[in-house]
């Protein structure tokens, strides 16, 4: 997996290039066609030459998002489409991300939204703690240090978001080290979810991974949450209710011992000419 132009960035005459770690960026999509080409290009610019990467769109769309993804693949970008037809979309966004994890054999799995609220340029920074073997799980945060939640629409959304965070920390102890446990932007070592039965339904897949996943070291990565590039938000009251239900399910697990991490770790290392 490499960029479109097949360009090798290794210096000639230095022997075989070290194998770069592999990363699949899983992007759940529902009716995001105007965002696809921009997203693909910006992910390519962010990751080419740093890791072996591919982009996997797990798509529950009824618009022409699949055509936009196919066009990017035809243009030579390392993108894949897993389209889930109407009536076969279990778990919504979270189910789509789970399907994406299952369809990848990469060492590292990253998840980001399609609407560019998670700027692709942050991917090297998000992956760096895993590539450097300092973390098993890295969650993007809109709330710590340099992070900013400017893309959250309006004071009401910001209030709900902050209130939910406090509630999540209270009910899900394993989330307490994360300043944004409801983030849709995160990365994990594959081992974290290997053989783990995730059971999420709705938008909050990170919370599910944090609660049930096999990780020891989690860290925050601050970034600026941007405004949606194009198309419409899929957040809804129904999603809010699903979140409440999900949170209560996870809260019941709070006195259980955390799952055993998988050892030993095989630390991926990256070619860091860029700013990873």
**189 is in the binding site of which of Mg ion, ligand GTP, none (Cβ under 5 to 8 A by kind)?**
none
CA dist list (Å): 139 to 102, 107, 206, 218: 20, 17, 8, 8
Closest separation in Å from C-beta 102 to ligand GTP: 14
Residue 115 binds Mg ion, judged by CB under 5 A: yes
Please classify residue 203 by burial: count the beta carbons closer than 10 Å to its beta carbon, then call 0-12 exposed, 13-18 middle and 19+ buried: buried
C-alpha 146: how far from chain center:
20
Closest separation in Å from C-beta 217 to Mg ion: 28
Closest separation in Å from C-beta 37 to Mg ion: 18
Residue nearer to ligand GTP on the CB measure, 66 or 184? 184
Residue 220 binds Mg ion, judged by CB under 5 A: no
Residue 183 binds Mg ion, judged by CB under 5 A: no
Beta strands in 42-199 (DSSP E): 52-59, 79-83, 108-111, 137-141, 186-189
φ and ψ of 78, to 5 deg: -80, 70
Residue 226, Cβ neighbours under 10 Å: how many? Answer: 14
Residue nearer to ligand GTP on the CB measure, 217 or 229? 229
Q: Which stretch binds Mg ion (CB under 5 A): 30-38, 97-105, 114-122, 260-268?
A: 114-122
- 76: which 2 tokens? 């030579």
Query: Which residue is closest to ligand GTP by CB?
Result: 233
Residue nearer to ligand GTP on the CB measure, 116 or 270? 116
| Interface residues toward ligand GTP, by CB under 6 A | 28-30, 32, 58-60, 92-93, 96, 113-115, 117, 153, 184, 203, 228, 233-235
Task: Name beta bridge partners: 248.
Answer: none
Residue 117 binds Mg ion, judged by CB under 5 A: yes
Beta strands in 79-183 (DSSP E): 79-83, 108-111, 137-141
**96 is in the binding site of which of ligand GTP, Mg ion, none (Cβ under 5 to 8 A by kind)?**
ligand GTP
Q: Which stretch binds Mg ion (CB under 5 A): 62-70, 98-106, 113-121, 186-194?
A: 113-121
Cβ atoms 21, 51 nearer than 8 A: yes
Total chain residues near Mg ion (CB under 5 A) = 3
CA dist list (Å): 198 to 17, 20, 193, 241: 36, 28, 8, 19
Complete edge-to-edge strand list for the sheet that includes strand 108-111: 79-83, 52-59, 22-29, 108-111, 186-189, 137-141, 218-222
Residue nearer to ligand GTP on the CB measure, 52 or 60? 60
**268 is in the binding site of which of ligand GTP, Mg ion, none (Cβ under 5 to 8 A by kind)?**
none
What is the binding site for Mg ion (CB under 5 A)?
113, 115, 117
């Amino acid at each position: 997996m490499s960029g479109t132009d097949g360009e090798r960035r290794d210096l000639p005459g230095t022997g075989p290039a070290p194998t770069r770690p592999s990363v699949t960026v899983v992007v759940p999509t529902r009716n995001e066609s105007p965002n696809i080409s921009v997203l693909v290009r910006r992910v390519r610019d962010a990751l080419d030459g740093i890791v072996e990467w591919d982009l996997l769109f797990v798509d529950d769309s009824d618009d022409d998002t699949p055509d936009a993804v196919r066009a990017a693949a035809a243009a030579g970008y390392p993108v894949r489409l897993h389209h889930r037809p109407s009536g076969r979309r279990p778990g919504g966004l979270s189910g789509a991300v789970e399907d994406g994890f299952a369809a990848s054999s990469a060492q590292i799995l990253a998840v980001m939204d399609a609407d560019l609220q998670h700027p692709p340029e942050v991917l090297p920074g998000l992956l760096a703690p895993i590539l450097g073997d300092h973390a098993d799980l890295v969650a993007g945060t809109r709330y710590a240090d340099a992070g900013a939640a400017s893309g959250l629409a309006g004071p009401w959304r910001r209030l709900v978001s902050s209130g939910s965070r406090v509630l999540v920390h209270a009910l899900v102890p394993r989330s307490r080290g994360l300043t944004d446990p409801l983030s849709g932007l995160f990365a994990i070592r594959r081992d974290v979810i290997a053989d783990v039965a995730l059971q999420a339904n709705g938008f909050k897949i990170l919370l599910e991974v944090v609660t049930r996943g096999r990780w020891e070291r989690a860290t925050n990565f601050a970034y600026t949450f941007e405004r949606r590039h194009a198309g419409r938000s899929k957040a809804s009251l129904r999603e809010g209710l699903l979140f409440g239900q999900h949170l209560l399910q996870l809260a019941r697990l709070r006195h259980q011992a955390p799952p055993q991490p998988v050892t030993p770790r095989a630390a991926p290392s990256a070619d860091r000419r860029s700013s990873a």
